[in-house]
Amino acid sequence: MKKTFTFLALTLIGSYGFSQHCDAFIPWNVGKKITTENYDGKNKLTGTTTNKVLSLNDLADKSEAVVEVENFDKKGVSQGKGELKYYCKGETFEIDMKSFLPQEQMAGFKDMTIEFTTDNMAYPKVMTAGTTLKSGFVEAIISNQGMKFMTMRVDVTNIKVEAVESITVPAGTYTAYKITSDVTSKSGFVTFNFKSAQWMVVGIGAVKTETYDKKGNLIASSLITKIE
């Protein structure tokens, strides 16, 4: 069974604004739109994702960015939209863990009831090679007309800054944090284990991602290609 997981939390670029004080890995600029191309393990295009900042909000103890995410198949046909939220709390940037769920699959449940439980990943303002980062998880209980249909859960653990290095992608050349992690995804009775590498740039997010199976084979990747 083939699964493609798009790490939407890590595909944005932008500039600072509003009242955030952390090093954000998304735009803090309403209207900024980013296009990311997604590939399979053989480097064949599987689709694209766009991310657009809809609003910036000051909450009681943190600032919030609301981002619209739209997925397209390889022919450019929309597969649906969703919204994610990201936070600056003091000097810490928090990632909405719902972004780690397979968005194409979640779009199929849009007419059902979904109850989320999350513990967000967090990136501190200061990171160096060797820094270990906070783990996170998301659990989604999906029900249809009061009957439990499915439980989905993603855990991201063993998150570590491996290096600080230069990387070139279609959108430009950047100095990035290379961050690796272990990902366990459960959908019903099926469990998948992955290893992820993400090249994270302050004020941008992941300009590149790579996902590997437990044998070390590349099964998916993504690149930022356009900034509007």
> Are the beta carbons of 198 and 7 closer than 8 angstroms?
yes
Residue 178 has pLDDT above 80, yes or no: yes
- pLDDT (0 to 100) of residue 10: 41
Residue 14 Cα distances to 11, 75, 107, angstroms: 11, 27, 26
Task: Give tens-digit pLDDT for 112-155.
Answer: 888 989 999 999 988 999 999 999 999 999 998 888 888 989 99
Residue 185 has pLDDT above 80, yes or no: yes
Residue 62 has pLDDT above 80, yes or no: yes
- pLDDT (0 to 100) of residue 104: 66
Are β-strands 205-212 and 190-201 bridged in parallel, bridged antiparallel, or unpaired?
A: antiparallel
Tokens (6 digits) for 55:
């609003």
Q: What is the mean pLDDT of residues 79-98?
A: 88
Round to whole Å and give the CA distance between 78 and 173: 29
Domain 8-227 annotated CATH 2.40.360.20: yes
Listed residue (133, 144, 149, 228) closest to 188, CA to CA: 149
Q: What is the mean pLDDT of residues 86-94?
A: 91
Q: What percentage of the chain exceeds 70 in pLDDT?
A: 89
- pLDDT (0 to 100) of residue 103: 67
Task: Give tens-digit pLDDT for 9-52.
Answer: 444 433 334 455 788 888 788 999 988 999 999 999 999 999 89
